[in-house]
Structure 1
Amino acid sequence: MTVSPVDLASLLCSRLCHDMLSPVGALSNGLELLAEEKDPEMRQRCFELLEQSAKASADKLKFFRLAFGAAGGFGEQIPVNEARALIDALAGSNGRVSVNWMFGVDALAKPAVKTLLNLALIGLEALVRGGTLDIGAEVRANGDLGGTTEIVVRAAGQRVAFDPTIAQALEGTLPAGELSSRTAPAAMVHQLAASAGGGVQVHVTAESLVMGAVLPSA
């Protein structure tokens, strides 16, 4: 799969706008209700809804800033706790997904963090009826050759809804002409892994989705 950087960036922007539409729209609707509502209890309820929508908007913007954007600079090490906080915030807004963490390091290179965030996002979206999301990462030393970052994300629940085109995008087999805003994050993960000389593997059943990424580093 070969896609131009401009096309990929455009699709990622479309994906970001799509995901932000709901919480921002809720803010707009809440303000309209607040302007018309006179009952003190209902006004308090409006304020609570506005607060929830504002938090959801901020959480998503922080997540996408690092998952899609240039937050943290290029080529820098990023604390894994920063990625953990972003994913926990998204999972918390879901309310039906519990997240388990297994980190063997305190920090990861930015490409690895972006890979981890996007795989976690794919896993969260697959758990349409809730479940558990297990996330692990470690760096294996390769002597003078540097190290290899290994990332595993496992989503498990009563039902896993996973679009096969996302698997194709992760593994680099999706035709460029079929790329969409839905599969663009997976395509970015593939490019990140491929540029490091690594790759991504996917295994899915009716009740679980396992995604693994290997990113060698010099």
Structure 2
Amino acid sequence: MNSQTDLAALLCSRLCHDLLSPVGALSNGLELLADEQDPEMRERCVELLEASAKISTDKLKFFRLAFGAAGGFGENVPVEEAQQVIGALAGDGKKIDIHWAMAETSLPKPAIKVLLNLAQIALDALVRGGRLDIGAERRDGNVEIVARATGSRVAFDEVIGRALEGDLGASELTSRTAAAHMIALLAEEMGGGLQYRLTDEALVLGAVIPEPEGMIG
């Protein structure tokens, strides 16, 4: 298989899958608005459109930073950008409390990609809500990242864990595992690594990402 081409295709599939619902809701809302004459119902249609547009925008912002080149930023991305994106995703119908422990105001783009993807994996694991703790700091030329999900039910497919650790067979690469596989490749290319630990109470995801050359001050 052409791993780079297949990975790109699977990431595109993931993006399309995640956007299908809110974009479909936009389309349905517009159809209802065109046919509806009752003022109260039209107001509800507008509210549906506004909510769907916000969800679509939030998801696109996530994909831009987590998968894309994050154009418009320099070599470092403000941590606030990542916080806003994760906060928006967590607020999308989930009861999740987010606690940040960020020692930096900005991080290199590769570290932001890893942080966002680990946070998304942790969010997906909190199927009944819960708490998400996210931390990052620079130490000895590395960026150390941790995301910890705790809740009444933590659901985690260990195939994703194997993808994070770079131990995924080619046949197991799917749109569900593509993001984890991508950041595992990114960490390996930079000389770092990812790891995870799953217990009955929590899912802990960690990463060590070396600073790009020329950025270690």
TM range (shorter): over 0.9
- In structure 2, the partner of 1:179 is 173
CA distance in 2, matches of 1:181, 1:35: 36
**Displacement, 1:94?**
3.0
2:181 corresponds to 1:167: no
- In structure 2, the partner of 1:78 is 77
- In structure 2, the partner of 1:144 is none
Choose which of 197, 208, 211 in structure 1 pairs with 2:205.
211
**Displacement, 1:73?**
6.5
After TM superposition, the structure 1 = structure 2 runs for residues 1-218 of structure 1, keeping only pairs within 5 Å, are: 4-72=3-71, 76-141=75-140, 147-217=141-211, 218=213
Q: Structure 1 stretches of 5 or more lacking a match?
A: 142-146
Residue by residue over 1:70-103, the C-alpha shift from the partner in whole angstroms, topping out at 9 and shown as x without a partner, is: 1136971111111111111111223411111000
CA distance in 2, matches of 1:3, 1:204: 32
Q: Structure 2 stretches of 5 or more lacking a match?
A: none
**Displacement, 1:170?**
0.4
Q: Percent identity?
A: 65
Are the equivalent residues in 2 in contact too, given 1:72–1:78 (CA < 8 A)? no
SS of residue in 1 equivalent to 2:23: helix
* Structural RMSD (CA): 1.5
CA distance in 2, matches of 1:75, 1:194: 23
Are the equivalent residues in 2 in contact too, given 1:27–1:53 (CA < 8 A)? yes
Q: Which moved more, 1:59-68 or 1:69-78?
A: 69-78
Residue by residue over 1:160-201, the C-alpha shift from the partner in whole angstroms, topping out at 9 and shown as x without a partner, is: 111111001000111022100010000011011111111111
The letter for the 2-side match of 1:200 is L
CA distance in 2, matches of 1:95, 1:40: 30
SS of residue in 2 equivalent to 1:150: strand
CA distance in 2, matches of 1:104, 1:45: 43
Question: TM-score normalized by structure 1?
Answer: 0.93
The letter for the 2-side match of 1:198 is G
**Displacement, 1:207?**
2.8
Are the equivalent residues in 2 in contact too, given 1:11–1:180 (CA < 8 A)? yes
Corresponding pairs, count: 212
